[in-house]
């Protein structure tokens, strides 16, 4: 399979381990949520490694030190509700002072097209770095529409973190947004006729919140 340049599957022993538990249908909601948070932290560690840095100076107890800092107030986490919310918790453990902009997009069960019911993003999109969070990159429709909306606001620094991706979503997203990098924990086999990722983990929102 051809993997686009802006798509990265993060190969890490702990991510493999946690994905095994996340996929297991016998894993209950509490543990599932904790694992999603932990997997997001591992993916987020890699996804944020090239955030821009600013030079600064601090006083250590000994002397002056030149340090580098991330402009955390310019980082905006964008969880796509509802399943993305659990990923925001993981990212906030890494970047506690990041802003959080929530996007409510859901798939229409018949058309499978994204429907936008909530969109609350901090102003001055041009100076922010947006980290879009959605555990499942399935058809790609929802996350493509979210990135479209962010770009409409002037955003040009956007990256996405997904726990599991399907080849169909990867292709659709990477063709539409070649300038936006996607970090994922796994690239699965395919989508089934109901647009679920196979083997996947089932419905992420239902498993997170016990609504199945
Ligand atoms: N959303 C989910 O929660 N699961 C899938 O497999 C695809 C989309």
Domain assignment present for residue 182? The answer is yes
Count of domains for the chain:
1
Q: Which two tokens stand for residue 162?
A: 């997904």
- Rounded to an integer, what distance in angstroms lies between the CA atom of residue 211 and that of residue 196? 17
Closest CA to 83 of 205, 207, 178: 205
How many beta carbons lie within 10 A of that of residue 201, not counting itself? 24
Q: In DSSP terms, which residues pair with 102 in a beta bridge?
A: 120
- Rounded to an integer, what distance in angstroms lies between the CA atom of residue 159 and that of residue 47? 8
Domain assignment present for residue 158? The answer is yes
Q: Best substitution site from 138, 186, 190 to test ligand 1's pocket, by max atoms within 8 Å of Cβ?
A: 138
Domain assignment present for residue 208? The answer is no
Looking at residue 102, the DSSP 8-state letter turns out to be: E
* Catalytic option among 206, 207, 211, 212: 206
* Catalytic option among 60, 63, 64, 111: 111
* Catalytic option among 74, 99, 149, 203: 203
Question: pTM of the prediction?
Answer: 0.94
For the CA of 195, the closest atom of ligand 1 is: 7
For the CA of 203, the closest atom of ligand 1 is: 3
Residue nearest to atom 5 of ligand 1 (CA): 196
Q: What is the mean pLDDT of each run of 10 residues along the chain (212 residues)?
A: 96 98 97 98 97 97 98 96 95 97 84 84 96 97 94 97 98 98 98 97 96 87
**With contact defined as beta carbons under 8 Å apart, do 144 and 165 qualify?**
no
Domain assignment present for residue 210? The answer is no
> Does 206 participate in catalysis according to the annotation?
yes
**With contact defined as beta carbons under 8 Å apart, do 181 and 6 qualify?**
yes
Domain assignment present for residue 37? The answer is yes
How many beta carbons lie within 10 A of that of residue 207, not counting itself? 22
- What pLDDT was estimated at residue 105? 82
For the CA of 206, the closest atom of ligand 1 is: 3
User: Which residue in this structure is represented by tokens 């297991």?
Assistant: 24
CA of 135 to the centre of ligand 1 (A): 8
Domain assignment present for residue 145? The answer is yes
Phi, psi (rounded to 5 degrees) for 39: -65, -40
- Rounded to an integer, what distance in angstroms lies between the CA atom of residue 165 and that of residue 185? 8
Looking at residue 3, the DSSP 8-state letter turns out to be: P
DSSP helix/strand/coil, 184: strand
Phi, psi (rounded to 5 degrees) for 79: -70, 135
What is the Cα 144 distance to its own chain's centre?
12
- Domain holding 194, by residue range, is 7-203
Q: Which two tokens stand for residue 201?
A: 């983990």
Domain assignment present for residue 149? The answer is yes
192: domain CATH number? 3.40.50.2020
- What pLDDT was estimated at residue 115? 79
> Does 111 participate in catalysis according to the annotation?
yes
Domain assignment present for residue 194? The answer is yes
């Amino acid at each position: 399979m051809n993997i686009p340049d802006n798509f990265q599957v993060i190969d890490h022993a702990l991510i493999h381990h946690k994905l095994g538990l996340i996929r297991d249908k016998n894993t209950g909601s509490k543990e599932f949520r904790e694992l999603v948070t932990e997997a997001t932290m591992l993916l987020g560690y890699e996804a944020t490694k090239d955030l821009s840095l600013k030079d600064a100076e601090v006083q250590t107890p000994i002397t002056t030190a030149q340090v580098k800092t991330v402009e955390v107030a310019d980082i905006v986490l964008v969880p796509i509700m509802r399943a993305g919310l659990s990923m925001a918790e993981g990212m906030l453990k890494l970047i506690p002072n990041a802003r959080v902009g929530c996007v409510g997009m859901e798939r229409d069960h018949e058309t499978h097209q994204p429907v936008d019911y909530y969109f609350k993003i901090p102003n001055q999109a041009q100076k922010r770095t947006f980290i879009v969070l959605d555990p499942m990159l399935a058809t790609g429709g929802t996350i493509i529409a979210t990135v479209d909306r962010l770009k409409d606001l002037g955003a040009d620094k956007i990256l996405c973190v997904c726990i599991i991706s399907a080849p169909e979503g990867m292709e659709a997203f990477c063709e539409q947004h070649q300038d936006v990098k996607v970090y994922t924990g796994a690239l699965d086999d395919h989508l089934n006729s109901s647009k679920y990722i196979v083997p996947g983990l089932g419905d992420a929102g239902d498993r997170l919140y016990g609504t199945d």
